[in-house]
Structure 1
Amino acid sequence: MSEETQYATAEPLIRRLEIKKVFEQLTPDEKLYAHYSSRAAWAATRIILRQVSPEAEQIYKFILELHKACNGKWESLLDRIDLKQLLGFAAIFLANIGNYGYGDQKFVPRISRDFAYSIASAASENATSLLDHCIGYKLSQEPHMIGYTSATSQNQYFTGDTPFTQADANALGHIMDQNRIGKENTRVQRIIATQDGEATLAINILQASVARDDQPRDLDNMIDGQRLEPYKDSQRLWVKDKSPVVETIFGFVEPYRDPAGTRAEFEGIVTIVDKQNTKALRTLVEKSLDFTSKLPWVEIGGSHGEAITSLGPFENASFESPDFTSVHALTYCSTIIFLGINLPNFEHIRENDGFKNLILANREIPADPDRHDASSETPFIDSAEVRTFISHHHYAWNLQITIHELLGHGTGRMITEDFNGKPNFNITSPPISPLTQKPIKTWYKKGETWTSVFGKLATTIEECRAEALGVIYNQYLHFGVLGVESLKSYDPQSQSWGQPHERGHFAMIRVLMAQEGFMKIDIDESLGRLIVRIDRTKILSHGKKALGELIMRLHVYRCTADINAARAYYEGLTHVDDYWLTVRDIVKATPAKTLIFLQANTFIKNGKVLIKEYEPTVEGVIQSWADREY
């Protein structure tokens, strides 16, 4: 097996999204709305599976077929140690909605081909037939990550008879931008047909839609507004619906897994407001203009003692405090369950109509520092600091995420031309860059967007910028740990990163370690162990300074469409050399359980909506998904 093989752990760390108490406080009508919204969200599961890998949907059917055959009585099929490995894989697969996890790396069950067929034959003919279609993919170590198609990577966004390269994707992206075809809800197929002995090449752009074309249309007749504009209109209405009791999010939202960084994965989310915590967040939001005015790129406009009228060219001139709500997730149908959400992702809607921030109150549970095995969850922190670190981690991390969403994703003004070529700045006297102290030379031209210009770098630069804005005391040490753990998401074979957040964490540890005497890593190769340390007396003088310089660079590059400077800086910052490969080897060899989330289901019985929660076991995870399917 390849050293890059990610085995699914037989005993994952299962965290239940507690929701019953909050759900029971809803009115009967609110419960009905939440129930049917949840059913709609879970119905999107197969859309997501088809976006993950060619085999994901067949593996999903296989798992549920096994459950159906034994009615959840797994020992009735086979009572062997391999069964434990299979159930662990099944739970992780279902929680991730596919066989590629966080970091976009594939995980496989630690079972043999013979065992897989023995349990399938004990279940049903249908199980055996399903296994025939996915066994090779299921047990194969390659392709082990999501990326442009190669011997080691695959994706479901660019498919067809011949593989797409990054240059191909960039060229096609430019054509789509010029024709105003939104990419978020598209996939691309390359078709080679032979007619009269001659091969012809066609590229099909497939748009997800409730409508269906009877015949394919040429590019000249393809109009973006027929597909994506209604969704954008829905987002404009969504941001105006302030803090509803039951909040819903549907659509092709996050572009993390598209190797080009623009096509988005579908997700369906249903949450219930936490009124008490939301009240505290609104107090913070009321102060958001004060916080924004202290950011390094802001230039205050307005007379002394009077209201602020301008924040400079790189921040929105009319700052409107966003909606910020604490919620409990009832349903989160997505490959990743985030602690914080900031939407929509369309910059022109954010600037003109606003945006929403959601913090998922039941996503992060405070850890118990007195647990006997607490230190096993913090292997890269000195044992003398573990108790203090765990005691403060939950509160520090929640505050960091709050700032991440409010100021990180919630700030910034793009310097751009609209679709008519009209700039939103004085083109004869461009803004002065705080990096060069000279007029800017780049901006977003007609038809260009943040993601179309920056491509795959867009999401990781944005997440790095947002993360760096949120760092506070306990978080400096935590981001040192996240920095070394991020290397799990790096693939040495392709020299590429699988997850934008992880690449951002690595960028942060690089700038923090570059500050003399502030952060260091003690490595004991003989024991295969490393410890992250910081000098707490240098947080303000060194740590804050380093992150301030980082966010200033990323922010200005982002606002001015300066992709060349951004690429040179960020790719150099996130280059993994031999030293970091040594760190990566130690991190990957350090035992760690896979964290997955267990969600409830709702049902209607005798006209009433009932909620069911499950035991936090692998069997409970599988049962929860079986109940959604039947």
Structure 2
Amino acid sequence: MSLTKFIVPAMAAMAITACGSKATQETADDFDYTVDRFADIEVLRYKVPDFENLTPQQRILIYYLTEAAITGRDILWEQNGKYNLAIRDLIENVYTNFDGDRESDEFKGLELYLKQIEFANGIHHHYSMDKFTPVFSREFLAGLAAKLPADQQPEDLETLLTIIFDPSVMPKRVNQAEGQDLILTSANNLYDNISQPEVENYYNALKDTTDATPVSWGLNARLTKQDGKVVEQVYKVGGLYSESISKIVDLLGKAAEYAENDSQRAIINKLIEYYRTGNLKTFDEYSIAWVEDTASQVDFINGFIESYGDPLGMTGAYESIVNFKNQEASHRTEVISGNAEWFEQHSPVDPRFRKDEVKGVSAKVITAAILAGDAYPATPIGINLPNANWIRAAHGSKSVTLENITEAYDQASHGNGFNEEFVIDKETSDLLDKYLFITDNLHTDLHECLGHASGRLLPGVDPDALKAHGSTLEEARADLFALYYLADPKLLELGLLDNPDAYKAEYYKYILNGLMTQLMRIEPGKDVEEAHMRNRQLISAWVYEKGKPDNVIEMVKRDGKTYIKINDYAKLRELFGQLLGEVQRIKSEGDYQAGRDLVENYGVKVDPALHKEVLGRYAKLNIAPYKGFVNPVYTPVTDKDGNITDVTISYDEDYLPQVLRYSKQYRTLK
């Protein structure tokens, strides 16, 4: 089960203030952050500050790691849907070969669809998981396909057209609806011709509850049936996705030649070994070596990691982020990780569920150099790995905050009118303007560095015991840990905040987002389905209900509009602590029924009247609910013999040109 990704919430980042980092303030220049806007998406650029201050060896290392990262792109498209690559080829080919009126409604609809599927790495929305609805006709696409050159003709056009245009076919990439077979009703390509009970029975038979160091079963495999027998198709060289993985291995081998030290080289080689064998024990060995390497400045993740795309939270989606340490901004995360033991022992959870000893928690602020796979174009703003609970307990975890990404979000959000429309009064708005940037970053730091790293399972508890609700509850656990400690005087003592009321900015934003503003991401009549959104609503709705006797939070009506008013911040913190204790108990004991009840009772259902109001108010602001990024372009510098001697960076590639180039340059699967 994936435990790591923290997505930027629906509420837009606020303006930079004196509490922001030095690096953030220095980027407020003429850099053009906004690249494109379509449907519910805004595409941004991000800077890579200090790339030029790295050594040539480090820049070449980053270059090969970025090449390896992007080379796995087709794997994610295949994981997201069986027909995704064929549909991508069809849409890209008719788009690039089109010689008619590019201002016509039909062509504009085709272009919109192309942008949407490129952003989502497939035909389903990256967040809602719903299949995109084309705003061009089947006849229009069929006519264009008929004109394609022979070598670009799809093998089964009618099947592709049916999948694209029939809303009843493969409607949901990940289905989380209670009471349904989540495998058979999900359109992803992680399972083939197999039911949910068959999947659960297969992996339950493999698990040894007495094993103190269990592998992450299902992490790197597609489960299917052959001759009536359930079998794994393992992602590895010589196995499933071999063409892509072989090229990734070659590029990782070149990267190893430029490693900063022997430890980093050994890590890269261990990852290569894992890709060649598919052995999950080897992956654990790689994860241990990776988490224990805190000396290297350049770092990366590459592999099958996040499991949000699997309704059972087992199979990892291909993902890669290449980065290097932001030396100055890492001070705050190092302070937090250096005090991990204090935070764990003062946590408001039953001592039985706390770690007896906190080992190896490391944290840093990083500068993202490339986003790939499940981290592109939409990306996390914080990551905590590895996922395996026993590795965390015995060897620690590594937490990172992507501050150049949060900078880009912040810079692009200036003057969007959000505060004026949704924040209850000027006093609260001023508080947000002054402290939200730093408290938002601290929330991410605490969530990733300590939240995911906290607590322990009781002996014999299956890490997958919470099943489909596991991802939501794990994100809730990490969020609650961060929220509880944001208001602790310890942060003032450590010098991470300079005002005892600063935490209120994050508390207000979180409750406003969880109860109201994230609803702008949901279509009318639908439930909350995505794990992070369920988590935020669960927390906000629970504390709202439990705080009613003391009027902790009010839903205030003014001029026909609903506003959030927090009357007792101290009591709200107590409620966060109470819920943290219960969620940790659920996880530690593997209490599926209690976890299921929390999620279904508080995290799923939507008030239709409030939903309609939020959508109407957002529509007036014209703020895109979702944001993502184009990558910078790295160009190798070679000598007269063709050897790479350095690497340059540029930021001038636009969204469609980039994804179309990626499809040609990094195509590995047919």
Match in the other structure for 1:420: none
TM-superposition CA deviations, 1:559-602 (whole Å, max 9, x none) = 122223333344333352xx624334444564352422111232
Aligned pair 1:42/2:70, yes or no?
yes
For residues 290-439 of structure 1, the aligned pairs below 5 Å read 290-297=342-349, 312-336=351-375, 337-365=379-407, 367=410, 371-372=414-415, 374-376=416-418, 380-382=422-424, 384=426, 386=429, 388-390=431-433, 392-417=435-460
Contact persistence 1:96–1:335 (CA under 8 A): no
Match in the other structure for 2:607: 580
Match in the other structure for 1:625: 662
Match in the other structure for 1:95: 119
Contact persistence 2:191–2:222 (CA under 8 A): yes
Contact persistence 2:424–2:565 (CA under 8 A): no
For residues 155-166 of structure 1, the aligned pairs below 5 Å read 155-160=188-193, 164-165=195-196
Alpha-carbon distance in structure 2 between the residues aligned to 1:75 and 1:520: 57
Change (3 A) 1:247 1:585: same
Contact persistence 2:220–2:315 (CA under 8 A): yes
Instruction: Letter of the 1:260 partner, please give it.
Output: L
Q: 2:132 aligns with which of 107, 112, 119?
A: 107
Instruction: Letter of the 2:65 partner, please give it.
Output: S
Contact persistence 1:149–1:155 (CA under 8 A): no
TM-score where L is the length of structure 2: 0.73
Change (3 A) 1:382 1:80: farther
CA RMSD of superposed structures (Å):
3.4
Change (3 A) 1:375 1:242: same
Secondary structure at 1:362 match in 2: helix
Alpha-carbon distance in structure 2 between the residues aligned to 1:209 and 1:356: 25
Alpha-carbon deviation of 1:539?
A: 0.6
Alpha-carbon deviation of 1:523?
A: 6.5
Q: 2:510 aligns with which of 456, 476, 479?
A: 479
Alpha-carbon deviation of 1:284?
A: 2.7
TM-superposition CA deviations, 1:211-255 (whole Å, max 9, x none) = 549xxxxxxxxxxx9721111111011011115221111121111
Instruction: Letter of the 2:453 partner, please give it.
Output: G
Change (3 A) 1:119 1:22: farther
For residues 55-66 of structure 1, the aligned pairs below 5 Å read 55-65=83-93
Alpha-carbon distance in structure 2 between the residues aligned to 1:126 and 1:10: 32
Instruction: Letter of the 1:345 partner, please give it.
Output: N
Match in the other structure for 1:558: 587
Match in the other structure for 1:602: 634
Alpha-carbon distance in structure 2 between the residues aligned to 1:272 and 1:35: 12
Match in the other structure for 2:16: none
Instruction: Letter of the 2:648 partner, please give it.
Output: L
Structure with the largest fraction of helix: 2
Instruction: Letter of the 2:463 partner, please give it.
Output: W
Change (3 A) 1:313 1:406: same
Contact persistence 1:92–1:596 (CA under 8 A): no
Q: 2:466 aligns with which of 439, 443, 454?
A: 454
Instruction: Letter of the 2:353 partner, please give it.
Output: F
Match in the other structure for 2:320: 268
Instruction: Letter of the 2:160 partner, please give it.
Output: C
Contact persistence 1:359–1:402 (CA under 8 A): yes
Match in the other structure for 1:519: 553
Change (3 A) 1:408 1:378: farther
Between 202-211 and 350-359, report the one with greater CA deviation. 202-211
Alpha-carbon deviation of 1:138?
A: 2.7
Secondary structure at 2:369 match in 1: strand
Alpha-carbon distance in structure 1 between the residues aligned to 2:615 and 2:231: 40
Contact persistence 1:66–1:127 (CA under 8 A): no
Q: 1:183 aligns with which of 218, 234, 244?
A: 218
Instruction: Letter of the 2:396 partner, please give it.
Output: G
Aligned pair 1:256/2:269, yes or no?
no
Match in the other structure for 2:204: 174
Alpha-carbon deviation of 1:164?
A: 1.5
TM-superposition CA deviations, 1:481-532 (whole Å, max 9, x none) = 3323455677998x875321111111111122111223233579xx9x8534
Alpha-carbon deviation of 1:75?
A: 7.8
Instruction: Letter of the 2:66 partner, please give it.
Output: S
Contact persistence 1:288–1:321 (CA under 8 A): no
Alpha-carbon distance in structure 2 between the residues aligned to 1:270 and 1:247: 6
Alpha-carbon distance in structure 2 between the residues aligned to 1:178 and 1:321: 26
Change (3 A) 1:392 1:137: farther
Change (3 A) 1:205 1:627: closer
Aligned pair 1:245/2:297, yes or no?
yes
Aligned pair 1:134/2:136, yes or no?
no
Alpha-carbon distance in structure 1 between the residues aligned to 2:531 and 2:583: 14
TM-score where L is the length of structure 1: 0.77
Aligned pair 1:231/2:283, yes or no?
yes
Q: 2:570 aligns with which of 540, 561, 565?
A: 540
Contact persistence 2:344–2:358 (CA under 8 A): no
Alpha-carbon distance in structure 2 between the residues aligned to 1:565 and 1:598: 41
Alpha-carbon distance in structure 2 between the residues aligned to 1:569 and 1:22: 45
Instruction: Letter of the 1:111 partner, please give it.
Output: F
Change (3 A) 1:54 1:176: same
Change (3 A) 1:473 1:75: farther
TM-superposition CA deviations, 1:136-191 (whole Å, max 9, x none) = 3233434332225689742322221xx514x4433233123259772211221135
Tell me which of the two structures has the higher relative contact order, counting C-alpha pairs closer than 8 angstroms and 6 or more residues apart. Answer: 2
Change (3 A) 1:369 1:58: closer
Contact persistence 1:357–1:405 (CA under 8 A): yes
Match in the other structure for 1:280: 332
Secondary structure at 2:328 match in 1: helix
Alpha-carbon distance in structure 2 between the residues aligned to 1:279 and 1:87: 45
Secondary structure at 1:339 match in 2: strand
Secondary structure at 1:502 match in 2: helix
Alpha-carbon distance in structure 2 between the residues aligned to 1:388 and 1:81: 45
Alpha-carbon distance in structure 1 between the residues aligned to 2:609 and 2:185: 22
Contact persistence 2:218–2:314 (CA under 8 A): yes
Contact persistence 1:89–1:109 (CA under 8 A): yes
Alpha-carbon distance in structure 2 between the residues aligned to 1:330 and 1:77: 38
Identity of aligned residues (%): 18
Contact persistence 1:28–1:609 (CA under 8 A): yes
Secondary structure at 1:137 match in 2: helix
Instruction: Letter of the 1:520 partner, please give it.
Output: E
Between 35-44 and 326-335, report the one with greater CA deviation. 326-335
Instruction: Letter of the 1:174 partner, please give it.
Output: N
Between 133-142 and 41-50, report the one with greater CA deviation. 133-142
Aligned pair 1:210/2:210, yes or no?
no
Alpha-carbon distance in structure 2 between the residues aligned to 1:266 and 1:243: 26
Match in the other structure for 1:498: 529
Alpha-carbon distance in structure 2 between the residues aligned to 1:376 and 1:125: 51
Change (3 A) 1:226 1:262: closer
Alpha-carbon deviation of 1:369?
A: 10
Aligned pair 1:611/2:649, yes or no?
yes
Instruction: Letter of the 1:207 partner, please give it.
Output: V
Alpha-carbon deviation of 1:258?
A: 1.0
Alpha-carbon distance in structure 1 between the residues aligned to 2:396 and 2:632: 32
Change (3 A) 1:123 1:164: same
Alpha-carbon distance in structure 1 between the residues aligned to 2:325 and 2:100: 42
Alpha-carbon deviation of 1:56?
A: 1.6
Alpha-carbon deviation of 1:552?
A: 0.3
Match in the other structure for 2:43: 14
TM-superposition CA deviations, 1:85-118 (whole Å, max 9, x none) = 4334333322332233123233344222233345
